[in-house]
Amino acid sequence: MTNPFSKRFAEIFEKDSRFIKSWLVAWDYQLGRNKRKLKYSEELPSDFYAFNGAGDLPKWMRWFMEKYTDYLPEELTKPLVDLSLENDKQIFQKLGLEFDFPNYRQNIGINNAHDYLLPTLYPVPERNRIRNVIDFGAGYGRQANLWTSKVKDGIFVGMDAIPNSYGLQNLYYKALGKPLYDYIDDPASFRIDPSKKGIYHLPTWRYDLLPDNTFDMVMCVQVLPELNSKLISTMMTQFHRALKPGGMVYIRDHASVWKPAGKMDVGAFLADNGFVLEFQPHLVLDGDIHGIPRIWRKIDPAVKASQVQTLELKKKQLVEDIDTLTGGRIKSVFKKLKK
Ligand SMILES: C[S@@+](CC[C@H](N)C(=O)[O-])C[C@H]1O[C@@H](n2cnc3c(N)ncnc32)[C@H](O)[C@@H]1O
């Protein structure tokens, strides 16, 4: 029997055909693997274009089976890993699933902790504090675990286009027990309202429903290198619109080292389209931490303006330079003129 949510997703996909372009809903890396007739092992998901219900969740989570490297101090990561584990155990219980993840702390737990810690690692002005979040290419929905537990005064938006991932996200978000507004449940009345706290779930093809100047962070973890360039440039342009001035795009992936889907230089695109690179630690890829974390900020005009030397300041500097060269004569001439 087809899963009811999966059926509903297919119906809306059909109804929304005017919004849908093949490149917008493509997962190019997986399409390439299908063409090469590659298959994952049995305990991992096999068909990303079907969602079969709760049993698909442990399959997806088993993707995180390796033990991930970590250089961050345990006093920072441990409380987050504990919280993440507690939430996931409760989710599994609610869904009637057996929790069987012996290395949870070193794989899912540490990944969740890193993606909460890195964007919040250093102090920022209050206007840049992260409240409203978009998670683009959300996997089984794992970023909502810590972000919705830690941030109470914001909204969380999960975005995806792939039936299996989208179905899992709906399941995981619901099981987290926070208010959930899913476009697929009711497209006609779906509206993102930052004053109505909770989790919003939106398919990629309805990016037009992201409000302007609203978000503090867009997360793209292990996703951009797997997508085509047209999709990335379209979404980054939309995220620029949806972010507040000074809002961040947080990326963690293997950048140009592993880029199976596209030829795009995402960093060059962001630098040319209104973002500035604020944070990229000088670390050993996969030795210190998995992937390369980067924080790009949407340029805030007020910040930019404050750092430009005005004509007035330039003139003042010129007078001071001449005064220095002439051993203070300019100053004494001015003093005499004033008298
Ligand atoms: C490797 S997974 C990463 C998942 C997640 N960010 C994480 O770190 O756990 C790639 C994700 O990109 C999503 N994706 C693929 N094509 C997409 C598209 N066209 N629009 C949005 N998301 C897409 C997949 O469904 C999947 O959730």
CA–centroid distance, residue 167 to ligand 1 (Å): 12
139 within ligand 1 shell (Cβ under 6 A): yes
Does position 91 have pLDDT exceeding 70, yes or no? yes
Rounded Cα distance, 144 and 157, in Å: 9
Q: What DSSP line would sit under 29-90, residue for residue? A: HHHHHHHTT----TTS---TT---STTHHHHHHGGG-SPPP--S-HHHHHHHHHHHHHHHHH
What is the pTM (predicted TM-score) of this model? 0.95
- What is the C-alpha to C-alpha distance for residues 279 and 289, in angstroms, rounded to an integer? 15
The tally of CA atoms less than 13 A away on the side-chain side of residue 258 is 12
Strand 243-253 to 155-160 pairing: unpaired
- 3 state DSSP class of 11: helix
CA 137 to centroid of ligand 1, rounded, Å: 3
pLDDT at residue 1 is higher than 80: no
Residue nearest to atom 24 of ligand 1 (CA): 137
Closest CA relative to residue 262, chosen from 231, 229, 291: 229
Q: Is 142 in the pocket of ligand 1 (CB under 6 A)?
A: yes
Q: 231 CB less than 6 Å from ligand 1?
A: yes
Are 158 and 138 in contact, with CB atoms under 8 Å apart? yes
Q: Say if residue 133's pLDDT is above 70.
A: yes
To the nearest whole percent, how much of the chain has pLDDT over 70?
Answer: 100
pLDDT at 262 over 80: no
Best substitution site from 47, 160, 171, 238 to test ligand 1's pocket, by max atoms within 8 Å of Cβ? Answer: 160
Ligand 1: distance of its center to the CA of 102 in Å?
A: 25
On the question of pLDDT at 183 being above 70, the answer is yes
Burial level of 300, CB count in 10 A (0-12/13-18/19+)? middle
Give the span between the Cα atoms of 166 and 88, in whole angstroms.
Answer: 18
pLDDT of residue 175: 97
> How far is the centre of ligand 1, averaged over its atoms, from the C-alpha of 166 (Å)?
9
Domain layout of the chain by residue ranges? 4-302, 309-338
Three-state DSSP at 263 gives coil
Residue 202: pLDDT above 80? Answer: yes
Look up tokens 């899913």; give the residue.
Answer: 182
Mean pLDDT for 125-133 is 98
CATH number of 4-302: 3.40.50.150
